[in-house]
């Protein structure tokens, strides 16, 4: 199964995968019913989660029902338990880059947010836009989600500056990235062009860097006030296992 999933991820373009997954998802959810692991996004339980990874495959990480990964389930729990994102009575403007399927329909249905999605390629994007040159006015959004996007962007400094520009003063942004916390500094090497080698070194064929712990300080240098939220350490250990979370993953919560 691992080899099949790795082949699919590395062969089929992401926009096509998004469309195909809509059909495949209910079949997988039915076949894998059980009570070992639970997806907190929809509350459904399964005997196993699916493997995932463009290079090295991780076991029990892809939810059969929502197709969420560890980072998505962690973010959902953080938003639900630590913020008023789902309950605020005052309507907030939300900008979501490269919207994830597990969030897209749920966020669209929320009456307490004005929800806009954006991306260059995603079929779920309302606005096709380059993150380094956004078509939005200054100080436009109360909340911005930009998760696992910056590692794809050659000029991530410009992208961060644009995120800061369009976020309202007092607004919140969550900018998750794949991060190697054992690294002090971020690693990149533009001379590595072979897709297989990029997947081996950067974790995915279309990544351009591996972020280290200096990621948070780079966000601060742009102007953000950053909280390094180690949220798995605030959750009971048995729930970390049951929800298939990545222990120690940091959520970068940014404020303007």
Q: Residue 231: pLDDT band by 50, 70, 90 thresholds?
A: very high
Question: Residue 236's pLDDT is what?
Answer: 96
* Distance (Å, whole) CA 113 – CA 98: 18
Looking up tokens 């990621």, which residue turns up?
215
Q: Which of 204, 198, 148 is nearest to 178 (CA)?
A: 148
* Distance (Å, whole) CA 99 – CA 122: 8
Question: Residue 16's pLDDT is what?
Answer: 58
Q: Could you tell me if 52 and 69 are in contact, meaning their C-beta atoms sit under 8 angstroms apart?
A: yes
Task: Report helix, strand or coil for 34.
Answer: strand
Question: Is the model's pLDDT at 57 over the cut of 90?
Answer: no
Q: What is the largest CA-CA distance in the chain?
A: 50
Between the two ends of the chain, the Cα-to-Cα distance in Å is 44
Q: What is the mean pLDDT of residues 141-148?
A: 98
Q: Read off the DSSP letter of residue 124.
A: T
Q: Residue 27: pLDDT band by 50, 70, 90 thresholds?
A: low
* Distance (Å, whole) CA 23 – CA 142: 34
Name residues whose C-beta falls within 8 Å of residue 194's C-beta, 6 or more positions apart in sequence: none
Question: Residue 224's pLDDT is what?
Answer: 98
Q: What is the mean pLDDT of residues 221-226?
A: 98
User: Cβ-count burial of 76 within 10 angstroms (0-12 exposed, 13-18 middle, 19+ buried)?
Assistant: buried
């Amino acid at each position: 199964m691992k080899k099949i999933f790795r082949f699919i991820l590395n062969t089929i373009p992401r926009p096509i995968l998004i469309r195909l997954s809509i059909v495949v998802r209910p079949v997988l959810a039915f076949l894998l019913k059980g009570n070992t692991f639970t997806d907190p996004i929809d509350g459904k339980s399964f005997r196993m989660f699916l493997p995932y990874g463009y290079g090295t495959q991780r076991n029990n990480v892809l939810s059969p029902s929502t197709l969420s990964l560890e980072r998505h389930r962690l973010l959902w729990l953080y938003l639900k338990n630590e913020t008023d994102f789902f309950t605020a009575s005052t309507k907030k403007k939300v900008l979501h880059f490269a919207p994830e399927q597990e969030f897209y329909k749920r966020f669209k249905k929320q009456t307490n947010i004005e929800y806009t999605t954006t991306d260059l390629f995603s079929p779920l994007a309302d606005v096709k836009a380059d993150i380094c040159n956004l078509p939005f006015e200054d100080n436009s959004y109360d909340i911005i989600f930009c998760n696992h996007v910056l590692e794809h962007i050659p000029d991530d400094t410009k992208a961060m500056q644009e995120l800061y520009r369009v976020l309202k003063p007092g607004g919140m942004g969550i900018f998750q990235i794949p991060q190697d916390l054992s690294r002090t500094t971020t690693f990149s090497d533009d001379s590595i062009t072979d897709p297989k080698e990029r997947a081996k070194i950067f974790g995915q064929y279309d990544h351009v860097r591996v972020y280290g712990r200096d990621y948070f300080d780079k966000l601060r240098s742009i102007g953000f006030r950053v909280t390094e939220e180690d949220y798995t350490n605030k959750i009971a250990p048995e729930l970390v296992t049951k929800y298939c979370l990545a222990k120690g993953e940091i959520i970068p919560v940014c404020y303007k």
